Chain A
Amino acid sequence: MITAGIDMGSKYIKVVILKDGTVLGRAMETTGFEPVESASRCLDKAIKEAGVEMSEIDHTTSTGAGRKVAPKTDSDITDVGAAAKGVVNLEKNIQTVIDIGAEEGRGIKIEADGKVVDFAVNEKCAAGAGAFAEAMSRALEVSIDEFGQLSLKSDKAIPMNAQCAVFAESEVVSLVHAKTPKHDIARAVHDAIASRIVSMVRRVGINESVALIGGVSHNPGFVDSLKRALETEVIIPENPDYIGALGAAITASERTK
């Protein structure tokens, strides 16, 4: 059986093609102003990579913020449900999932079978999402990759008092004017994002086995800050930005049976 999962994220669309539990292909496209067209393009790319035809796909399930407008889909699943399914497929013992997208963060508590028992979402606070780190890296005139690496060089915790991304940005500008080294500013930004995420995740409870998914997992500076804030290890599954799409593809398989 071949299925597809489409994750219609606010910044990126991801597609996973699955055959009997094995990933055959995956693709990513920026969402842009035409999400439906971007999703169709992304689906075509993933199908091509998988070496299959659209007509061979038995069921397609969408997830993500734009899941209701995803093209060529048979069903949908919430971001929370897809994230949980995707994570337990790769990491069996995970009990808490932290999913950080460009514009939102989620804390999800799951059972061994991937069933969600508690979740909290913050789609409103930009200071607790990936786009904030990107904006701050631009303010420091470094790439987001460099920004993540720079943060690791810092051994100084500078608390950021602003609770809002807009005010935090002016705080960063003040630090720049005060000639604070870039690596210390980078760490301050990552610590601030991590602290907002962790206080949200505390609503659902933090267990010892925590997984981090979403594009922010590629940022080593943020991961370091998150570990410090959680006071525990964080597991990053393989291809962490595709976990939602993987969870959707797994759901598609279950719905075809």
Chain B
Amino acid sequence: MKANYGYMDGSGEFYITIDTDLCIECADHGCVKACPAGMFEIIVDDYDDEVAAIKEDHRKKIKYDCGPCKPVNDRPTLPCVAGCTLGALTHSW
């Protein structure tokens, strides 16, 4: 499943997409350890699979919570994307 967490508002679309089919195969849950803002958690989804999700309290403000990882003049690989070796994560902005 592609789970899009985030929102869109007048300033744009701010979604983190998690391909949860890949999470099922994931042993180390690198996203949880890699994110300095502690935005990821591992949940048991509706199909009884252990998958990554963005914590509820971050979903409406990810643009701001991810801000420190996304300086405007330089865009290194995001820690969460680097930490997810299976390539399950994408950001829309």
Q: Which residues of A are interface residues toward B (Cβ below 8 A)?
A: 77-78, 80-81, 115-125, 128, 162-164, 167, 196, 199-200, 203-204, 251
Contacts and interface: CB of A to CB of B under 8 A. Distances in A.
Most buried by A among B1, B9, B46: B46
A31 B3 CA distance: 28
B70 interface: no
Given A118-B1, A118-B2, A203-B15, A125 B7 contact: yes
Contact of A119 (B4, B7, B9, B10): B4
B10 A163 contact: yes
B4 A125 contact: no
A123 B2 contact: no
Given A81-B46, A115-B47, A203-B15, A122 B7 contact: yes
A123 B9 contact: no
A204 B2 contact: yes
Given A120-B15, A124-B60, A196 B8 contact: yes
A124 B1 contact: no
B8 A200 contact: yes
B33 interface: no
A77 to B, nearest CB: 5
Interface in B32-86: 45-47, 59-60
9 contacts: A78-B45, A119-B3, A120-B4, A123-B59, A163-B9, A164-B9, A200-B8, A203-B4, A251-B46
B32 to A, nearest CB: 20
A123 B60 contact: yes
Contacts of A115: 1, 47
B4 A124 contact: no
B5 A124 contact: no
Contacts of A122: 7-8
Contact of B4 (A121, A128, A167): A121
Interface in B3-33: 3-5, 7-11, 13, 15
Contacts of B4: 118-121, 203-204
A124 B7 contact: yes
B7 A199 contact: no
A23 to B, nearest CB: 21
Closest 3 pairs between A and B when the two form their complex, measured CB to CB = A163-B10, A81-B46, A120-B4
A80 B45 CA distance: 11
A252 to B, nearest CB: 13
Contacts of B45: 78, 81
